[in-house]
Every structure is written in C-alpha cells, then in structure tokens.
C-alpha cells in the first residue's frame, strides 16, 4: 500500500514514535510518503529523516495514496481531513499528544494497533461533514468541517445577535459571543466545552450550541442532519468570524450563510477492539469514584 504521513512539528519526545511507525511500514513492504507541510515544519534530525521519503504536494492530486496516517492530536487529524477532502482517503489517527477523541491510537498502543491494521483487523467509519453554503466564495473551496462550524464575535467586541432558521422556519434569536453547529463527531470538542451533549458518531444529527449566551434559558438543540440551518447575523462590530474546525475567515453582515450535510464523508480507520465508550471513560475520567 501507499501510505502518506502527515503531522506538524514533532517534539523530541514524539519523534521516536514517528520512526517506529515508518519502520513498521517499511518492514511490512508499504511505500511511505510525507506531506510537504510535514517535511518543511521539522528541522535537523527529523527533517533529514523525513526527507528520505518522497514528498506529496498537498495542492496536487493525492489519487495514488491508499491511506493517510495523521500523526499528532485531534487538530492534526482535522487538518488531514481538510487535505483529503472529497477524495475520501481513509485516515488513521495516531495520538502523539495527550487528549484525543479522534486520534484514538495511543503512543503505547502503536505497535499492536499497526499489527492489527496490517492484518486487516479494522473497519472504516463514515463520519458526516458539515457543508458551508454562502453567497460569496469562502475558504477557497474547502467549505466543509468534520467537527463544527462556528459564528463568533471578533476579539473583545460586543456580543453578536444570530437569528437561526431550520428549513426556513425561525427557531430563536441568540444573543451570545457566538453560535456553533457541530456534528456528532464534533460533540466531544468545542461543543462539549460550551455545554453541548455527547452524541454517538452514527447519530444522524447536528447540534446547535450557543457560545456564552446572554440569556440563561438558552440550551443546546439537537436537530436532524437532513435539515438546512441558516442564519442572520447582527452586531455592533462590522465583521465576524466564521470558523470551520481550526480554519477561520472574517466576514461582514452582508454574507449569507447556511449549513447542510456534506455530500461526502470523512473515512476514519477504527482498529478492532477500540471503543467509543472506552475513549470517553479514559478521556473524561468517568468512573473515578471511590464507590466504583
């Protein structure tokens, strides 16, 4: 297989794991490629080592690649999804950081997880994406998100007013620092930190969650992912931020936006034996109670 590795600058502590991954791939007869971003952001020993493999320009076709390995945390995996886009190349997330709901393969499990991967003991999970529709070109065609789309106030400006509609029907006016719509995958991310619910990845839904709302009776809302969610934005400031996962763009109130379910998915590799509830218990410290 032809496997591409993507990551940002590797720390001195994490680089040995990168070497382990590359060696396992070579020992099993697979071709290794490195994204040009990964090669450029690493220096000295890491750069010399990584440049021994062919580089992929992320602006060119990725068709020859069979799998992407995302080396880092959830942010790196989200970036890998944006690179792959509609090509839907399967992505295995290997967590070289600490917290990770998407990059679920821990450093201590790398060798065993790769052995299972080489033996074909994995499945591909289709994760729904959000698609941003707008009356002006935004995000250079990469107008999709795996975790969430957020409308946010800029810097320290006053709160914004967001009128929300579902399939053309008025839902609510949110007076807040922002409003986000997340996928089930994104329910463990920004949405969770703003009080949103945990939603299983196979649930066919979107979650509308206000960011620091100025009326306490406003709560997150779970809606069908077959809905079209549209917005009208007001505020004392003349511009706002639209954020797609880790990417953001400044817009003004003349921009009209709506969200629908993407027409393609992100394909994440799930190694046999991994379990979403295990991940929740480990990451959120569930069950750490003397009564258990």
Distance CA 74, CA 55 (A): 23
Q: Which of 36, 74, 245, 289 is catalytic?
A: 74
User: Are 62 and 4 within 8 A, CB to CB?
Assistant: yes
Report residue 6 as tokens.
């993507």
| Alpha-carbon gap, residue 142 to 266, rounded angstroms | 13
Asked if 74 is an active-site residue, the reply is: yes
Report the C-alpha gap between 254 and 275 in whole angstroms: 44
Q: How far apart are CA 223 and CA 220, in angstroms?
A: 10
Sign of the C-alpha dihedral computed for residues 273, 274, 275 and 281 taken in this order? positive
CA–CA distances in Å: residue 74 to residues 81, 99, 157, 189, 245:
11, 8, 29, 9, 10
Rg (CA), the chain: 20
Residue in the structure block whose two tokens are 């027409």: 263
* Catalytic machinery residues: 74
């Amino acid at each position: 297989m032809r496997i591409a590795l993507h990551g940002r600058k590797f720390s001195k502590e994490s680089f040995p794991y990168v070497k382990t991954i590359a060696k396992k791939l070579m020992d099993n007869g697979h071709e290794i490629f490195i994204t040009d971003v990964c090669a450029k952001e690493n220096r000295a020993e890491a750069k010399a080592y990584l440049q021994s493999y062919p580089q992929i320009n992320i602006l060119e076709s990725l068709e020859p690649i069979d799998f992407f390995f995302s080396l880092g945390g959830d942010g790196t995996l989200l970036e890998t999804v944006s690179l792959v886009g509609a090509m839907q190349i399967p992505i295995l997330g290997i967590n070289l950081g600490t917290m990770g709901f998407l990059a679920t393969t821990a450093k201590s499990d790398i060798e065993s997880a790769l052995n299972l991967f080489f033996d074909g003991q994995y499945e591909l999970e289709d994760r729904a994406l959000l698609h941003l529709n707008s009356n002006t070109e935004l995000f250079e065609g990469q107008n999709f998100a795996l975790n969430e789309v957020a409308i946010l106030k800029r810097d320290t400006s006053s709160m914004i007013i967001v009128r929300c509609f579902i399939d053309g029907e008025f839902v609510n006016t949110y007076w807040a620092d922002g409003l986000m719509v997340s996928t089930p995958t994104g329910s463990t991310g920004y949405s969770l930190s703003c009080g949103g619910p945990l939603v299983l990845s196979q649930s066919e839904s979107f979650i509308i969650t206000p960011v620091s709302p100025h009326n306490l009776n406003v709560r997150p809302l779970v809606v069908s992912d077959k809905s079209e969610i549209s917005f009208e934005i007001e505020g004392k400031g003349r511009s706002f931020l639209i954020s797609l996962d880790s990417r953001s763009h400044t817009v003004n109130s003349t921009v009209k936006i709506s969200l629908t379910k993407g027409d393609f998915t992100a394909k994440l590799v799930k190694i046999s034996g991994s379990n979403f509830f295990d991940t929740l218990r480990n990451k959120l410290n569930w069950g750490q109670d003397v009564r258990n």
